[in-house]
Amino acid sequence: MNEMNIVKFPSREAWAGILRRPGGNAADLEKTCEAIFEEVKRDGDAAVRKYTWHFDRAHLERLDAREEEFEEAGRSLDPALKAAIRLARENIEAFHRLQLPGRRERVDARGFRCWQEARPIERVGLYVPGGSAPLFSTVLMLAVPARLAGCEEITLCTPPGSDGTVHPAILWSARLCGVTRLFKIGGVQAIAALALGTGSVGRVDKIFGPGNAFVTAAKQRAATRGVAIDMPAGPSELMVVADETAVPAFVAADLLSQAEHGPDSQVFLLALDERLPALVAGEIERQSRGLPRREVIEKALARSACVVPRDREECLEMINCYAPEHLMLSVKNPGEWIPSVRHAGSVFLGNYSPESAGDYVSGTNHTLPTGGHARAHGGLGVESFMKTISFQEISPRGLDCLGPAIEVMAEREGLLAHRNAVRERAKHARP
Query: Catalytic site residues?
Result: 325-326
In whole angstroms, the minimum distance from the beta carbon of 57 to a second copy comes to: 20
Question: Is the distance from CB of 356 to CB of 257 less than 8 angstroms?
Answer: yes
In whole angstroms, the minimum distance from the beta carbon of 109 to a second copy comes to: 12
> Applying CB under 8 A, does 32 fall inside the site for a second copy?
no
Question: Which CB sits closer to a second copy, 136 or 183?
Answer: 136
Residues 321-380 binding a second copy (CB under 8 A) are 334, 338, 341-365, 368-369, 371-379
> Applying CB under 8 A, does 381 fall inside the site for a second copy?
yes
In whole angstroms, the minimum distance from the beta carbon of 59 to a second copy comes to: 26
Q: Count the neighbouring beta carbons within 10 Å of the beta carbon of residue 3.
A: 15
In whole angstroms, the minimum distance from the beta carbon of 309 to a second copy comes to: 21
Residues 166-185 binding a second copy (CB under 8 A) are 169
> Applying CB under 8 A, does 250 fall inside the site for a second copy?
yes
In whole angstroms, the minimum distance from the beta carbon of 424 to a second copy comes to: 4
Total number of residues binding a second copy (CB under 8 A)?
135
In whole angstroms, the minimum distance from the beta carbon of 209 to a second copy comes to: 15
d(CA 206, CA 346): 23
Interacting residue with a second copy among 16, 226, 289, 311 (CB under 8 A)? 226
Interacting residue with a second copy among 58, 259, 270, 305 (CB under 8 A)? 259
> Applying CB under 8 A, does 60 fall inside the site for a second copy?
no
Residues 272-311 binding a second copy (CB under 8 A) are 287-288, 290-293, 297
Interacting residue with a second copy among 16, 80, 163, 289 (CB under 8 A)? 80
d(CA 5, CA 19): 12
> Applying CB under 8 A, does 188 fall inside the site for a second copy?
no
d(CA 356, CA 371): 20
Residues 229-248 binding a second copy (CB under 8 A) are 232, 247
Residues 39-58 binding a second copy (CB under 8 A) are none
CB environment 86-123: b (16+ within 10 A), e (fewer) = eebbebbbebbeebeeeeeeeeeeebbeeeeebebbeb
Interacting residue with a second copy among 54, 106, 310, 332 (CB under 8 A)? 106
In whole angstroms, the minimum distance from the beta carbon of 373 to a second copy comes to: 7
> Applying CB under 8 A, does 23 fall inside the site for a second copy?
no
> Applying CB under 8 A, does 186 fall inside the site for a second copy?
no
Interacting residue with a second copy among 75, 224, 289, 311 (CB under 8 A)? 224
Residues 385-404 binding a second copy (CB under 8 A) are 387-396, 398-399, 402, 404
In whole angstroms, the minimum distance from the beta carbon of 242 to a second copy comes to: 14
Question: Which CB sits closer to a second copy, 64 or 112?
Answer: 112
Stretch that binds a second copy, among 9-17, 101-109, 192-200, 307-315 (CB under 8 A): 101-109
Interacting residue with a second copy among 19, 121, 177, 272 (CB under 8 A)? 121
